[in-house]
Structure 1
Amino acid sequence: MKYSDLFGRLRSVVIGMIHVKALPGTPLAGTGVSGITEEACREAQIYLDAGIDGLMVENMHDVPYSFSPGPEVCAAMTVVCVAVRSLCPSLPLGIQILSAANRPAMAVALAAGLDFIRAEGFVFSHVADEGLLNACAGELLRYRKQVGAEHVQIFTDIKKKHSSHALTSDVNIEETARAAEFFLSDGVIVTGTATGMQADPKELREVSQSVRIPVLIGSGVTYDNVDQFLGASGMIVGSHFKRDGHWASAVDPERVQRFMDKIRRLRT
């Protein structure tokens, strides 16, 4: 299934973030899985009511992140995603498991009937705040094939936020995007330097001109700057949809509705 088949359009798709509460076994865990699931479904309903184009579930509260989250994290994420999928049976739905737990995310996507994952560290090595992150494209795509999950699309970060790219300073973002395309990424994601930080519209244009796969914006889109990113295939919006614009807060129905109303006006 291609991008346009999944979302019904090629441009300005809006994907809302569900940042689940800290999962069992992580330092900030407190709420049980049933409570986490209930909260995720409440936020999914807010997005549905506002006419969102797609959703993504992420374990953002599991700080500090590990490259090897335990089986309890995957199990909990599966429970949450199955519930959200049941609530939104026809809405495009994806997952990211931090940090760079791309194979576990693929496994959860397959089990829960999801449509896509967001993958970090797809091509080229770099130093993330969790440590050294190596490329995973070969391993991840082979795993997808082996488990029969080829319908699950992989959208991949390039020049990932919260990272140093000194190791690849001689490889610009366009070359990184072309490498991801060559390694069969289903779409690439351009971000700012950190969560909630605006991506560079110039980089969006440069990457879009360099590849023929979808180019998404992965951070920093707001009501005020969305006009600059309408040319993107998609916009993954998290922080702006939260109370006071902070990623750790609850989803604010008024912020989501206002943003989606503007998107609909701009599309026409």
Structure 2
Amino acid sequence: MERKTWLSDVIGTEKAAIGVVHFKAFPSDPLYDAEGGLEAIVDAARKDLLALQNGGIDAVLFSNEFSFPYEPEPALEVVAGMAYVIGELKKDITVPFGCNVISNTHDSIALNAAVGGCLMRGTFAGAWSGDMGLINARPGEFLRHRHNLGLDKKLKMVHYISPESSSEIGGRDKHVIADSALFGNLPDALGICGASAGKSIDLPFMKELRKARADVVLFATTGVKYETIEEIYSVADAAFIATTFKVDGIFENPVDEERVKRFMDKLKAWRS
């Protein structure tokens, strides 16, 4: 019998698919559409949200994906803009949802608290080097932030083992990082990332982790495709999916409802 995890209670199913709504750039972001304003962001996000829901997605995650180049301390207008957009979309949301402020875990916790999100992902521990410079993730602060907001049970946190496009300064390998996170950082789940958005995860590593720790909830956070549903979900408990749902599978494009439906029909048939 398939084991039951918190996914059944929070999302409504095991082997869940979480579709990611990529928000367009916000005020102060270089790619911001000043002429279209926030309403253009709302309109694009609503179309993607409805395409995901109509296609049968299990849950959604809102992310400021087009806030290029990313910052470890996003401008206040970016986080405020995300709250505004999600507020405008609340009447359209029919599935469990969460949100993610890229590269800032404190902001993600705060935003989920403000809008009622139940799921987030991010870098919770370690010192990392990447395009944004140095990131020093402090799990004690993050877990206490959630606890002090009274969200220990409601807001589930997916801890990246190794964030996209980054290297751990201390040189620890992924097995050591995973063991350390599971020992002391109280993760609700561990997330396995590819090198960047849309890139395949290290599936052999995920299999090793699953074999060693059958009790841990594992997420594939990038690179899941229609063709790899069985391969990924035979190991992973859930996945965040974005690029493969886009028109022609291209990151910059809007969500294609038919691609979502095709994926979800196959996943649901496999789950049954």
Fold match (TM-score > 0.5) = yes
Which residue of the other structure, out of 34, 56, 60, is the alignment partner of 1:55? 60
CA RMSD of aligned residues (A): 1.6
Q: Distance in 1 between matches of 2:266 and 2:170?
A: 38
What is the match of residue 88 of structure 2? 83
Verify the 8 A CA contact 2:164 2:194 in the aligned structure 1.
yes
Verify the 8 A CA contact 1:55 1:94 in the aligned structure 2.
yes
Verify the 8 A CA contact 1:221 1:235 in the aligned structure 2.
yes
Deviations 1:200-233, CA, capped at 9 Å, x for gaps: 2211112223443310001111111122111311
Q: Secondary structure at the match of 1:76?
A: helix
Q: Secondary structure at the match of 1:225?
A: helix
Deviation, structure 1 residue 56? 0.5
Verify the 8 A CA contact 2:127 2:135 in the aligned structure 1.
yes
Q: Distance in 1 between matches of 2:237 and 2:227?
A: 19
Q: Distance in 2 between matches of 1:35 and 1:250?
A: 13
How many residues were matched structurally? 262
Verify the 8 A CA contact 2:7 2:16 in the aligned structure 1.
no
What is the match of residue 175 of structure 1? 176
Q: Specify the code of the residue in structure 2 equivalent to 1:153.
A: K
Deviation, structure 1 residue 159? 1.3
Deviation, structure 1 residue 64? 0.6
Determine if the alignment matches structure 1 residue 20 to structure 2 residue 4. Answer: no
Q: Distance in 1 between matches of 2:98 and 2:250?
A: 21
Which residue of the other structure, out of 177, 185, 188, is the alignment partner of 1:186? 188
Deviation, structure 1 residue 71? 1.2
Q: Secondary structure at the match of 1:134?
A: strand
Name the TM-score, length of structure 2 as normaliser: 0.91
Which residue of the other structure, out of 15, 36, 46, is the alignment partner of 1:41? 46
Deviation, structure 1 residue 60? 0.9
Q: Specify the code of the residue in structure 1 equivalent to 2:180.
A: A
Verify the 8 A CA contact 1:123 1:179 in the aligned structure 2.
no
Q: Distance in 2 between matches of 1:96 and 1:117?
A: 6
Determine if the alignment matches structure 1 residue 29 to structure 2 residue 22. Answer: no
Greater alpha carbon shift after TM alignment, 31-40 vs 51-60: 31-40
Identity, in percent, stands at 28
Name the TM-score, length of structure 1 as normaliser: 0.92
Which residue of the other structure, out of 201, 204, 208, is the alignment partner of 1:202? 204
Greater alpha carbon shift after TM alignment, 147-156 vs 109-118: 147-156
Unmatched tracts of structure 1, length 5 or more: none
What is the match of residue 110 of structure 1? 113
Deviation, structure 1 residue 85? 3.2
